[in-house]
Amino acid sequence: MPRGIDRSSHKVKWGQHFLIDDQIIEKIVSYADITPTETILEIGGGTGNLTRKLAQLCYRLVVVEADRQLAQKLCSIPGIDVLHGDALRVEFPPFDKTVSNLPYQISSEVTFKLLKHPFTCGVLMYQKEFAQRMVAAPGTKDYSRLTVCLSYMSRVKVLARVPNTAFNPRPAVDSVIVKLVPTKPRFEVLNDVFFHSFVRALFTQRRKTLRAALLVAAQLLDVQAMDQLIAKLPQHWLVRRPYELSPEEIATLSNDSFELHEAQKTRVQQP
């Protein structure tokens, strides 16, 4: 038990499982390959076990912590900047890398928030099942909206498994360390917002035929002429399932749907 933290005070709503295994902390830090000129962002500093190691290696360390008491304690670590607040709401400063044992309840939102910023790499701890969805191959049960949206603008690699004995209190789930590297868009997407909505809509029907899934997406996204797109697709495509399509194939369908959507807007605007 880390000093100063009473077991009963661990807040479930904030996913407070603190890393107590020094070897795992060393491993995370070494994966990040930090140089003394870099600014590091840590989400959820907790009791500071990882924070203290990071602080020794980088130029500047900014730690975001939602729990006021923990944020106050983190302020006693020399040379770091502590932002007390919700990582989903606070403005991130410019940073080179992010190294964090993430609060699992915000894994998805915080990952997409991070990817809106330029940085070279993230070394991040996630729940194992979440990480499996991040890296899943098309056609597998874990392949999801998360996989497709992440593959559009990043590369994800699972680096190591972390047993629950590395934490206090022990979480009920297994964890893994992941490397997240932002990239340029890896395939063409005409409109980012439409693409994300399209992927979401398609995956509500992940095991239906593509024909059925496209008709649902058309309703959800107000694409009135989806029949035209369906008519253009070969029959063997229409019996495929959304979870079998590669991210690039989904992007192509999204782009075609977006063009139909834009064309219909133009028609409505014409006198």
Binding site for ligand SAM (CB under 6 A): 14-19, 43-47, 49-50, 64-67, 70, 86-88, 101, 103, 106
Residue nearest ligand SAM (C-beta atom):
44
| Shorter beta-carbon distance to ligand SAM: residue 54 or 148 | 54
Q: Considering the complex, state which of residue 62 and residue 66 has its C-beta at the smaller distance from ligand SAM.
A: 66
Cα separations (Å) of 95 from 61, 63, 117, 118, 170?
A: 9, 11, 8, 8, 30
Tokens standing for residue 123: 């070394």
In terms of CB distance, is 21 or 248 closer to ligand SAM?
Answer: 21
Between CA 243 and CA 48 the distance in angstroms is 40
Q: How far is the CB of 211 from ligand SAM (least distance, A)?
A: 40
Q: How far is the CB of 4 from ligand SAM (least distance, A)?
A: 13
Closer residue to ligand SAM in complex, CB, 111/147: 111
DSSP 119: -
The count of other CB atoms within 10 Å of the CB of residue 207 is 12
Shortest CB 244 distance to ligand SAM, Å: 35
* CB nearer to ligand SAM: pick between 92 and 237: 92
The answer to whether 58 and 117 have CB atoms below 8 angstroms apart is no
Rounded to whole angstroms, the Cα distance separating 199 from 33 reads: 34
The closest alpha carbon to 180, from 131, 218, 223, belongs to 131
Q: How far apart are CB 132 and ligand SAM at their closest, in Å?
A: 19
